[in-house]
């Protein structure tokens, strides 16, 4: 059976520590539902855009958002279809996640299956590849070439080895050894191994990343679905491919002999950086934890959140100060927001109208 070879070095430990710290903040941040929905939708757009862009899709973020909203864009049919397909892959991951979470405790039952992999691939290449190649293992040899130079950078295993390699790997993925492994490391291993085996004629990168996401989410690391690891990969695609290739070019005989530490270090760094970015954004928009504990989940507008955060930071806010914080809005609008916050029992007013200041209760 396959068994991964790697060392948990100080860098990996540091990145996983940062991942856990960010996860704790994000999952417990007292965001109002409207912001949570907004964060998730933004993450979907970023994941679909960067997950396809890294493979050569030319649509920008705005065009991807438009396609997902059902709008027409001036683009090739294939490019639009790839975007729609990746959204369907994310829907499949969402649908599968809760099922796999409940399934994880059942003995003698595989949590991650060949059906998952083949379904993810079929959805990835729907109407892009011929139907007899979608969700089907390749029957011929493929090579990975540098798109600019045309040079062959990697030769995957022979087609006749694919089914056996995938089956052997899935046995490990559902084994006790894998069960004891940290989910982030497990997802990183999944990403690399499937990319190396290259089971399909096309769409291997997207399928590998999606299956790794399925593993991550199913192991309790969906982290409210606020993040996009694909964006990290795409921001420096040259490094992403070079790190994968450095492992694949090792002069060893078997998949189990490949030293994965450099790849896992890179993978953990990516998730740590992405979650740190999300954490900072969440902290900026969330209410103070003591406020949530006292009042429960309260729906506030973005303007009201800014007003409350200013009062939390500086103790109070005056007329001149709120005019500076919310310059693009009229006095009447802001005064209505402040009055609503008073009704909700979050703030109180001190002083006369012109010299009034508002403080948290």
What's the pLDDT score for residue 259?
A: 98
Determine the pLDDT at residue 319: 87
Residue 232 sits at the vertex; the CA angle it makes with 268 and 84, to the nearest 5 degrees, is 120
Tokens of 144: 């990975």
pLDDT in tens, 307-339: 887 887 778 898 888 888 898 888 899 999 999
Six token digits for residue 138: 């390749």
Q: Which domains does the chain have, with CATH numbers?
A: 10-285 (1.10.3290.10), 289-360 (1.10.10.10)
Evaluate if residue 232 carries a pLDDT over 90: yes
| Span of 10-14, 165-169, 193-197, 249-253 with lowest mean pLDDT | 249-253
Phi and psi (nearest 5°) for 132?
Answer: -80, 0
The C-alpha atoms of residue 288 and residue 308 are separated, in whole angstroms, by 9
Report the C-alpha gap between 82 and 52 in whole angstroms: 7
Lowest pLDDT segment from 64-78, 107-121, 205-219, 326-340: 107-121
CA distance 130 to 127: 7
Residue 172 in this model has a pLDDT that exceeds 80: yes
SS3 label, residue 323 = helix
Tokens read off for 79: 């490019």
Q: How many CB atoms lie within 10 A of CB 116?
A: 21
Residues shown for the chain: 361
Residues 6 or more apart whose Cβ sits within 8 Å of residue 353: none
Provide the pLDDT for residue 103: 61
- Whether residue 225 is predicted with pLDDT greater than 90 in this model: the reply is yes
Closest CA to 356 of 340, 338, 341: 338
Active site residue 198: yes
Inform me whether the pLDDT recorded for 202 exceeds 60: yes
Q: Which of 53, 121, 191, 198 is catalytic?
A: 198
CB 356 within 8 A of CB 338: no
pLDDT of 131-154, one tens digit each?
999 999 999 998 887 655 667 778
Q: Rounded to two decimals, what is the model's pTM?
A: 0.79
């Amino acid at each position: 059976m396959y068994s991964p070879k790697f060392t948990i070095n100080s860098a990996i430990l540091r990145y996983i520590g940062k991942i856990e710290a960010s996860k704790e903040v994000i999952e417990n941040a007292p965001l109002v539902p409207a912001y949570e929905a907004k964060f998730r939708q933004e993450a979907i757009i970023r994941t679909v855009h960067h997950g396809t862009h890294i493979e050569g899709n030319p649509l920008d973020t705005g065009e991807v958002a438009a396609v997902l909203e059902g709008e027409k864009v001036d683009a090739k049919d294939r490019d639009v279809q790839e975007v729609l397909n990746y959204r369907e892959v994310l829907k499949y991951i969402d649908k599968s996640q809760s099922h796999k979470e409940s399934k994880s405790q059942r003995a003698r039952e595989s949590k991650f299956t060949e059906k998952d992999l083949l379904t993810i691939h079929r959805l990835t290449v729907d109407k892009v590849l011929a139907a007899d190649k979608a969700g089907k293992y390749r029957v011929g040899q493929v090579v990975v070439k540098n798109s600019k130079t045309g040079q062959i950078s990697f030769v995957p295993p022979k087609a006749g080895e694919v089914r056996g390699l995938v089956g052997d790997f899935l046995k490990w993925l559902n084994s006790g050894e894998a069960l004891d492994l940290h989910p982030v490391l497990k997802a990183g291993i999944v990403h690399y191994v499937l990319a190396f085996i290259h089971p399909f004629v096309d769409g291997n990168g997207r399928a590998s990343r999606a299956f790794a996401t399925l593993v991550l989410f199913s192991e309790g690391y969906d982290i409210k679905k606020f993040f996009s690891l694909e964006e990290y990969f795409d921001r420096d695609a040259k490094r992403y491919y070079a790190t994968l290739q450095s492992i694949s070019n090792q002069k060893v005989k078997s998949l189990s002999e490949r030293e994965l530490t450099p790849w896992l270090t890179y993978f953990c760094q990516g998730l740590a950086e992405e979650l740190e970015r999300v954490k900072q954004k969440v902290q900026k928009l969330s209410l103070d934890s003591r406020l949530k504990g006292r009042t429960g989940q309260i729906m506030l507008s973005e303007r009201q959140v800014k007003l409350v955060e200013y009062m939390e930071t500086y103790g109070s806010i005056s007329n001149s100060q709120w005019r500076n914080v919310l310059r693009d809005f009229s006095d009447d609008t802001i005064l209505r927001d402040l009055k609503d916050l008073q009704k909700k029992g979050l703030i109180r007013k001190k002083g006369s109208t012109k010299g009034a200041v508002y403080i948290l209760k």
